[in-house]
């Protein structure tokens, strides 16, 4: 039902998926032990039942050990079951990612708070049931502890002498999306708001920073500890609650006394500097939103080993300590400011205003990203802003074209096709926790770009009015006493957002939303033109590619800007179904007036040298969609001189960057000149100039044979940065002009890319760079030159070319090339100096490590990962570790080393820093040791098992990491069963034939007998758990199990609609190795279930009969989906749910298969209505067979069409019949 509700068209308001309303929660943490890394505390939730006879309360909790639960002072039995601990059970040898993804989605759904589920099910004592009638308050009191938490809370305890405070030990909460359940039991949903009282008792030397207002700090009786009392009167979702405890230094913001900053010991001076402009960001947001900051205080905490750079919670943000910097650092300054601005934007939209459901996430991310963009524009200028927009757009377009679309507002359960709106992805987008991290990043990126599109449509003024409206509604609601319907005003939904837009602006942005929000993918344009001299008309042709993955068709207006001799003209063309050509009349005659200035778009009039242009045409340059008002990629063809004019005279940085990119294809002296001119222009945006450097290097390489004069950029650099009297010596550093500074940094790096005829870096250039290093003098500079020196090392790295080597020659010192020897000397000296005088963020070490890896890769020095491995160890600065790990990852790929791969995977499992684990997996995904396309000795069964285990159960404490592991698995093995796994044996094939079961050869299921046997065993293991968990269901369990088994056994991933029925998952999902927190109560009932379980097992065997492993899986999926609260749903609900069974397999299957699956769907539907327990079973068996057949057909056609490797089991579709 809930999913249906998410569909915003029908959305009327927020309805809680829970049979109760949470109004207040107390979190009290009595003890935090840094030595043992443990936490003890209790929570108390005040809830109002909204139904009569509330007998179950479902809460979220992960990895907590729960000691007791009391409801209104009565002991209450409870069950704690977390299906995400181990996604796939029974060590089935299924290694198929499709299977995993659906099982994982099912597991996450089973405890999804947005659907009213949870890991912790509390049985309300029967004495209280009657109270439900009077809607009395229930107080749920839960005592819990956490021991060495792997997720949710992160302890940083440096291994040095002294007390915990002296050691700088601290702890902080973290997580990706709603992850608060990792550290205390709660309703971990962004849509369940309540007020908070938070108490933390910590060592007297520590400070506990949390959400809300610090009311008081009280010593304990022994005066060795103190308790921090926080009150958060603004209704807030549990997911927005955080905590950090440590011996923080406290800085009250000098401009805003209600803002307090916290950092680790010794960093206070950096904190002072880094926070000195926060008030400006505050002022900016408050001004544009015409709204006060919603909370009465704000806290920033800077912690080590942060999970992400910025994470925002109600009235506080946790940052990485590595964002702090001193006044000497240039490069970090804007980055830190940007992070602060992001954090603050999320305070308004994300923390204060929360979301109704996951499908509405895009609104929050979009708005916070959008207002952050406005801050960028104001602080860093329009150029920077437009550059950023272009960068984000390019990034997103690239991702979508590569991976398929990013869908902002997924709707589920609407219909067949909608069930899996993104079949191209190897993960489900139904939950934030199943998303790939990269996808989520692109999602955020797209969200703010779409907000910008809306702004383009309705104007910024209206846009800000909408935001203001949302905020003022929310703040009115927040000040209300508990009245649940008012609090929901603090939740934003797609529907309410769009409604405000239409109310405020009176404009219909439906098509825009439909195109970019309800639909994934981007537009890909190809443009070309011809000038018709007779008609004085520009014939523009705009084609689209909407067939390849990640693309969609665009119909609607598009802006084209044409710069002619007489000025710049905007034309709005209509892109329609069939028209490709557009005639645009030109304003100017080609006969140009001599000496006349040419007016530009911005009103400026400039002199141009028009000799390069075509004498017959008045066109200087043409731009398609210059304002980036479509999410698109444009490939436009125009002549080289037009690109050159565009680069020189167009004032928009986006246009300049586009032309730089285009000029790479035109290595001519004219291009060279245009680029050089841009490089010399002070007024030009520095990032454009930086881009021009690299382009110039590429052009120079293409023009190698005809190049005249000194190496590209050398004389320019000399003129700009070297002494007048001695041109070979660089001036002493001042870095007063940041533009010049960035250019000075970039030019050597670009120059080092130059190559001579032998494809070597010219000797001149190398010596030049070596001289820059030698003569670098920072003594008189008030800024640090660490980034500059690091880039000079990068330049040396860039100059490296592969060594000429006789095959198999061992790399020794003696046969080191002379130039390389010089380079190596610089690198070793710099690296050694870093040990004595470390640079900020160890930038130089990072560059040196990269350089050494490059030397190894090019065969100058022996390839050896041991140096990198030592730098990658815990205890180095995180940037250094990442650089070293990157080198190890690269080594693993190049040398196909299984030892290093193991070492890396080991680190993924054991490293204390979560960021490093994540980084290793994402780097392995980016630079994989092998891919599904290629054979590799590394690809073996053990690795498959290991990775499988990693994503199945090894990463249950960190959503992000699990998704990273899934990504890596996908990169290495693809969606289907990895090819390195043993093929099914011949006997099996025969066996299968008898049963007329045809398998998808790529799935490679288990042997029939094997499976049976194994299932028997695993089921045996699980009997107790099963029995226990199903205890709640009392007599109804059997029926439910059976029906659900039959229902979807033939349908690949479980139908969406069913999932919402999933309860705290029972049965096999209770892992065979129970979590510490799993507390088994109600022992008295456990005996019964074994008996009942037999019926399940029967089904099990029944399932095996087709010897179809797929059926086996589905069986498990179904058990997983079996609701634990049967009979609660009115029959109408079931019906609605059941009418949506869907096959997630692409619709490209044969007609036959579609119809058959529909058929089976009908069957389900029909069947489910049977409430008789006995009859049902028989029918089920029947149906199973039927369904498996149809399923097999499907799969067969799948195999046939999709798998060119079907040679493994030569079988035609007809054979299956």
Partner 1 sequence: MADPAVMAGGFSAIVGRSGCGKATSSPAENYQLARRRTLQVVVSSLLTECGFESAEKATVESLTEMIQSYISEVGRCAKAYCEHTARITPTLSDAVVTLNEMGFNVDTLPGYAKRSQRMVITAPPVTNAPVIPKALIAGQKRTHPSHIPSHFPEFPDPHTYIKTPTFREPVSDYQVVRERAASQRRDVERALTRFMAKTGETQSLFKDDVTAFPLIAERPSSIPYLSALLPSELELQTLEETDSSEQDDQTDSENTPVNNLNDDPGADKENSVLLAGGVVPLVKVSEESMIDNPYLRPVKKPKVRRKK
**Subset of 463-502 contacting partner 1 (CB under 8 A):** none
**Residue position matching structure tokens 């969200």:** 447
Among 184, 313, 840, 1028, binds partner 1 (CB under 8 A): 840
- The one-character DSSP state at 253 is -
Using rule CB under 8 A, residue 875 touches partner 1: yes
Interacting stretch for partner 1, rule CB under 8 A, among 190-198, 271-279, 470-478, 1101-1109?
271-279
Q: Smallest distance, Å, CB 1167 to partner 1? A: 55
Interacting stretch for partner 1, rule CB under 8 A, among 234-242, 321-329, 672-680, 1115-1123?
321-329
Among 219, 546, 580, 1169, binds partner 1 (CB under 8 A): 219
Among 148, 681, 832, 1212, binds partner 1 (CB under 8 A): 832
**Residue position matching structure tokens 């950023």:** 388
The residue (of 244 and 520) whose beta carbon lies closer to partner 1 is 244
Binders of partner 1 among 841-860, rule CB under 8 A?
841-842, 852, 855
Q: Smallest distance, Å, CB 830 to partner 1? A: 9
Rounded to the nearest angstrom, the gap between the alpha carbon of residue 384 and the centroid of all alpha carbons in its chain is 24
How deeply is 572 buried, as exposed, middle or buried, from its count of CB atoms within 10 A (0-12, 13-18, 19+)? Answer: exposed
The residue (of 723 and 1205) whose beta carbon lies closer to partner 1 is 723
Helix (H, G, I), strand (E, B) or coil at 539: strand
Among 213, 566, 1010, 1097, binds partner 1 (CB under 8 A): 213
**Cross-strand partners of 66:** 144
Binders of partner 1 among 288-307, rule CB under 8 A?
297, 304
Q: Smallest distance, Å, CB 241 to partner 1? A: 18
- Tokens representing residue 59 in the block: 């809460």
Using rule CB under 8 A, residue 270 touches partner 1: yes
Burial 758-776 (b: 16+ CB within 10 A, else e): eebbbeebbebbbebbeee
Using rule CB under 8 A, residue 231 touches partner 1: no
**CB under 8 Å to 373, separation ≥6 — which residues?**
385, 388, 389, 448, 452
The residue (of 272 and 918) whose beta carbon lies closer to partner 1 is 272
The residue (of 337 and 648) whose beta carbon lies closer to partner 1 is 337
- Tokens representing residue 866 in the block: 């041991």
Residues near partner 1 (CB under 8 A), total: 95
- Tokens representing residue 274 in the block: 């880094």
Q: Smallest distance, Å, CB 766 to partner 1? A: 17
Interacting stretch for partner 1, rule CB under 8 A, among 153-161, 572-580, 707-715, 940-948?
153-161
Please answer whether residues 361 and 435 qualify as being in contact, where contact means their C-beta atoms are separated by less than 8 angstroms.
no
**CB under 8 Å to 896, separation ≥6 — which residues?**
929, 930, 936, 937, 938
Closest among 886, 889, 913, 914 to 901, alpha carbons compared: 889
Among 52, 74, 137, 218, binds partner 1 (CB under 8 A): 218
Angle made by CA atoms 537, 539, 540, in degrees to the nearest 5: 135
Q: Smallest distance, Å, CB 859 to partner 1? A: 13
Closest among 78, 76, 100 to 87, alpha carbons compared: 100
Among 48, 129, 141, 277, binds partner 1 (CB under 8 A): 277
Helix (H, G, I), strand (E, B) or coil at 432: helix
Q: Smallest distance, Å, CB 174 to partner 1? A: 17
Using rule CB under 8 A, residue 276 touches partner 1: yes
Among 24, 70, 273, 587, binds partner 1 (CB under 8 A): 273
- The one-character DSSP state at 893 is H
* Angstrom distance (rounded) from CA 444 to CA 442: 5
Using rule CB under 8 A, residue 158 touches partner 1: yes
* Angstrom distance (rounded) from CA 570 to CA 559: 7
Please answer whether residues 570 and 552 qualify as being in contact, where contact means their C-beta atoms are separated by less than 8 angstroms.
no
* Angstrom distance (rounded) from CA 385 to CA 443: 19
The residue (of 785 and 964) whose beta carbon lies closer to partner 1 is 785
The residue (of 160 and 933) whose beta carbon lies closer to partner 1 is 160
Among 23, 105, 312, 321, binds partner 1 (CB under 8 A): 321
Helix (H, G, I), strand (E, B) or coil at 1043: helix
Phi and psi at residue 707, to the nearest 5°: -65, 135
Binders of partner 1 among 768-827, rule CB under 8 A?
774-775, 777-784, 810-814, 824-825
Using rule CB under 8 A, residue 326 touches partner 1: yes
**CB under 8 Å to 578, separation ≥6 — which residues?**
none
Using rule CB under 8 A, residue 874 touches partner 1: yes
The residue (of 266 and 1214) whose beta carbon lies closer to partner 1 is 266
Binders of partner 1 among 694-733, rule CB under 8 A?
723, 725-726, 729
The residue (of 839 and 1064) whose beta carbon lies closer to partner 1 is 839
Interacting stretch for partner 1, rule CB under 8 A, among 118-126, 877-885, 973-981, 1019-1027?
877-885
Among 838, 1074, 1150, 1213, binds partner 1 (CB under 8 A): 838
Strand pairing category for 170-173 and 243-246: antiparallel
Please answer whether residues 115 and 2 qualify as being in contact, where contact means their C-beta atoms are separated by less than 8 angstroms.
yes
Phi and psi at residue 425, to the nearest 5°: -95, 155
Binders of partner 1 among 568-597, rule CB under 8 A?
none
Q: Smallest distance, Å, CB 962 to partner 1? A: 27
- Tokens representing residue 355 in the block: 């979301």
Among 9, 12, 73, 257, binds partner 1 (CB under 8 A): 257
Number of other CB atoms surrounding residue 682 within 10 Å: 11
Binders of partner 1 among 397-456, rule CB under 8 A?
none
- Tokens representing residue 1102 in the block: 């029944």
The residue (of 837 and 933) whose beta carbon lies closer to partner 1 is 837
Q: Smallest distance, Å, CB 858 to partner 1? A: 13
The residue (of 639 and 867) whose beta carbon lies closer to partner 1 is 867
The residue (of 880 and 998) whose beta carbon lies closer to partner 1 is 880
The residue (of 257 and 1178) whose beta carbon lies closer to partner 1 is 257
- Tokens representing residue 551 in the block: 């693309």
Interacting stretch for partner 1, rule CB under 8 A, among 214-222, 368-376, 428-436, 599-607?
214-222
Q: What are the DSSP E strand ranges found in 50-161?
A: 56-59, 65-71, 74-75, 78-80, 120-123, 138-147, 153-156
* Angstrom distance (rounded) from CA 252 to CA 776: 40
Binding mask of the shown chain, residues 991 to 1030, with x at each position contacting partner 1 by CB under 8 A: ----------------------------------------
Closest among 884, 879, 873, 892 to 840, alpha carbons compared: 879
Helix (H, G, I), strand (E, B) or coil at 636: strand
* Angstrom distance (rounded) from CA 766 to CA 1152: 68
Among 24, 438, 559, 876, binds partner 1 (CB under 8 A): 876
Alpha helices in 262-360 (DSSP H): 268-274, 278-288, 332-348
Among 66, 289, 878, 968, binds partner 1 (CB under 8 A): 878
The residue (of 614 and 771) whose beta carbon lies closer to partner 1 is 771
* Angstrom distance (rounded) from CA 400 to CA 101: 20
Among 80, 412, 871, 973, binds partner 1 (CB under 8 A): 871
Rounded to the nearest angstrom, the gap between the alpha carbon of residue 91 and the centroid of all alpha carbons in its chain is 29
Closest among 1135, 1148, 1161 to 1198, alpha carbons compared: 1148
Q: Smallest distance, Å, CB 774 to partner 1? A: 5
Binders of partner 1 among 182-211, rule CB under 8 A?
204, 207
Q: Smallest distance, Å, CB 876 to partner 1? A: 6
Among 267, 451, 1019, 1117, binds partner 1 (CB under 8 A): 267
């Amino acid at each position: 039902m809930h999913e249906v509700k998410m569909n915003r068209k029908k959305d009327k308001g927020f309805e809680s998926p829970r049979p109760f309303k949470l109004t207040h929660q107390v979190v009290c943490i009595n003890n935090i032990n840094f030595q043992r890394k443990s936490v003890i505390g209790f929570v108390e939730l005040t809830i109002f039942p909204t139904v009569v006879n509330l007998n179950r309360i479902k809460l979220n909790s992960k990895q907590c050990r729960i000691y007791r639960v009391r409801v209104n002072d009565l002991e209450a039995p409870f069950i704690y079951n977390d299906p995400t601990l181990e996604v796939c059970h029974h060590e089935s040898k299924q290694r198929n990612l499709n299977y995993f993804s659906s099982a994982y989605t099912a597991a996450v759904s089973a405890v999804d708070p947005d659907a009213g589920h949870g890991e912790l099910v509390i049985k309300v004592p029967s004495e209280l049931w009657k109270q439900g009638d009077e809607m009395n308050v229930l107080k749920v009191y839960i005592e819990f502890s956490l021991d060495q938490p792997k997720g949710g809370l992160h302890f940083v305890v440096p291994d040095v002498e002294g007390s915990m405070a002296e050691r700088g030990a601290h702890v902080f909460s973290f997580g990706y999306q709603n992850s608060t359940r990792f550290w205390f039991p709660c309703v971990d949903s962004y849509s369940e708001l309540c007020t908070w009282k938070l108490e933390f008792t910590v060592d007297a030397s520590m400070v506990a920073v949390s959400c809300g207002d610090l009311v008081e700090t009280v010593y304990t009786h022994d005066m060795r500890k103190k308790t921090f009392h926080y009150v958060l009167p603004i209704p807030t979702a549990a997911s927005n609650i955080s905590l950090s405890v440590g011996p923080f230094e406290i800085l009250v913001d000098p401009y805003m006394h209600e803002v307090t900053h916290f950092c680790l010991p010794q960093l206070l001076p950096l904190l002072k500097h880094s926070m000195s402009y926060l008030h400006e960001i505050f002022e900016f947001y408050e001004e544009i939103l015409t709204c006060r900051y919603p909370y009465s205080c704000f806290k920033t905490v800077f912690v080590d080993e942060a999970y992400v750079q910025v994470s925002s919670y109600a009235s506080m943000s946790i940052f990485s300590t590595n964002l702090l910097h001193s006044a000497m650092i240039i490069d970090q300054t804007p980055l830190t400011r940007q992070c602060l601005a992001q954090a603050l934007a999320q305070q308004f939209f994300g923390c204060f205003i929360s979301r109704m459901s996951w499908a509405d996430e895009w609104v929050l991310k979009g708005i916070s990203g959008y207002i952050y963009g406005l801050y960028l524009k104001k602080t860093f200028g329009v150029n920077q802003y437009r550059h950023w927009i272009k960068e984000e757009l390019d990034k997103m377009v690239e991702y979508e074209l590569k991976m398929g679309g990013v869908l902002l507002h997924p709707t589920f359960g609407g219909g067949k096709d909608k069930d899996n709106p993104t079949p191209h992805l190897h993960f489900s987008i139904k939950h934030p926790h199943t998303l790939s991290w990269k996808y989520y990043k692109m999602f955020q990126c797209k969200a703010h770009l779409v907000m910008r599109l809306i702004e383009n449509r309705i104007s910024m003024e209206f846009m800000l009015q909408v935001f203001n409206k949302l905020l003022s509604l929310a703040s009115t609601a927040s000040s209300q006493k508990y009245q649940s319907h008012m609090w929901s005003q603090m939740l934003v939904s797609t529907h309410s957002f769009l409604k405000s837009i239409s109310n405020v602006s009176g404009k219909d942005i439906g098509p825009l939303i439909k195109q970019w929000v309800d639909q994934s993918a981007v537009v890909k344009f190809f443009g070309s033109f011809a000038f018709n001299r007779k008609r004085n008309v520009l014939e523009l042709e705009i084609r689209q590619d909407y067939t390849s993955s990640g693309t969609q068709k665009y119909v609607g207006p598009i802006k084209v800007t044409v710069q002619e001799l007489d000025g710049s003209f905007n034309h709005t063309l209509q892109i329609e179904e069939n028209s490709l050509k557009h005639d645009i009349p030109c304003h100017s005659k080609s006969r140009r007036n001599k000496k006349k200035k040419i007016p530009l778009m911005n009103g400026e009039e400039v002199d141009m040298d028009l000799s390069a242009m075509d004498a017959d045409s008045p066109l200087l340059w043409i731009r398609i969609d210059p304002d980036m008002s479509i999410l698109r990629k444009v490939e436009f063809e125009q002549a080289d001189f037009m690109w050159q004019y565009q680069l020189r005279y167009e004032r928009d940085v986006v246009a300049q960057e586009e032309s730089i990119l285009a000029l790479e294809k035109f290595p001519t002296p004219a291009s060279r000149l245009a680029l050089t001119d841009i490089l010399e222009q002070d007024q030009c945006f520095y990032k454009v100039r930086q881009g021009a450097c690299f382009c110039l290097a590429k052009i120079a390489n293409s023009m190698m044979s005809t190049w005249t004069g000194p190496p590209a950029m050398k004389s320019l650099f000399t003129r700009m940065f070297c002494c007048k009297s001695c041109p070979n010596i660089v001036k002493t550093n001042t870095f007063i002009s940041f533009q010049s500074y960035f250019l000075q940094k970039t030019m050597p790096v670009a120059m080092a890319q130059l190559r001579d005829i032998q494809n070597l870096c010219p000797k001149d250039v190398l010596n030049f760079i070596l001289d820059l290093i030698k003569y670098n003098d920072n003594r008189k500079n008030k800024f640090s030159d660490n980034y500059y020196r690091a880039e000079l090392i990068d330049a040396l790295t860039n100059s490296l070319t592969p060594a000429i080597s006789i095959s198999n020659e061992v790399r020794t010192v003696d046969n080191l090339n002379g130039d390389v020897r010089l380079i190596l000397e610089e690198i070793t000296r710099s690296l050694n100096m870093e040990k004595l005088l470390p640079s900020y963020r160890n930038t130089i070490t990072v560059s040196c490590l990269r350089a050494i890896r490059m030397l190894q890769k090019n065969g100058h020095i022996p390839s050896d990962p041991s140096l990198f491995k030592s730098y990658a160890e815990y205890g180095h600065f995180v940037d250094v570790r990442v650089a070293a790990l990157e080198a190890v990852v690269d080594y693993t790929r190049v040398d196909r080393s299984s030892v290093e791969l193991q070492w890396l995977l080991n680190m993924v499992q054991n490293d204390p820093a979560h960021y490093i684990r994540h980084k290793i997996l994402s780097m392995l995904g980016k630079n994989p040791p092998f891919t599904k396309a290629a054979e590799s000795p590394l690809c073996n069964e053990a690795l498959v098992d290991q990775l499988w285990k990693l994503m199945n159960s090894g990463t249950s404490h960190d959503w992000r990491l699990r998704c990273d592991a899934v990504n890596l698995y996908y990169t290495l093995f693809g969606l289907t069963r990895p090819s390195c796994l043993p093929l099914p044996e011949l006997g099996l094939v025969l066996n299968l034939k008898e049963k007329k079961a045809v398998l998808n050869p790529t799935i490679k299921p288990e042997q029939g007998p094997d499976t049976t046997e194994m299932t028997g065993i695993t089921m045996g293991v699980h009997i107790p758990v099963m029995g226990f968990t199903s205890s709640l269901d009392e007599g109804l369990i059997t029926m439910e199990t059976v029906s659900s088994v039959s229902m979807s056994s033939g349908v690949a991933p479980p139908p969406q609609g069913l999932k919402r029925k999933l309860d705290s998952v029972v049965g096999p999902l209770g892992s065979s190795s129970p979590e510490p927190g799993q507390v088994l109560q109600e022992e008295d009932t456990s005996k019964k279930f074994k008996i009942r379980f037999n019926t399940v097992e029967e089904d099990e065997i029944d399932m095996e009969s087709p010897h179809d492993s797929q059926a086996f899986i589905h069986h498990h999926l179904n058990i997983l989906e079996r609701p634990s609260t049967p009979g609660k749903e009115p029959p109408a609900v079931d019906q609605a749910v059941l009418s949506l069974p869907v096959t997630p397999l692409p619709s490209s299957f044969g007609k036959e298969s579609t119809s058959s699956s529909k058929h089976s769907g009908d069957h389900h539907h029909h069947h489910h209505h049977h409430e008789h327990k006995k009859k049902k079973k028989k029918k089920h068996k029947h149906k199973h067979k039927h369904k498996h057949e149809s399923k097999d057909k499907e799969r067969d056609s799948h195999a046939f069409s999709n798998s060119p490797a079907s040679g493994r089991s030569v079988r035609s579709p007809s054979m299956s019949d």
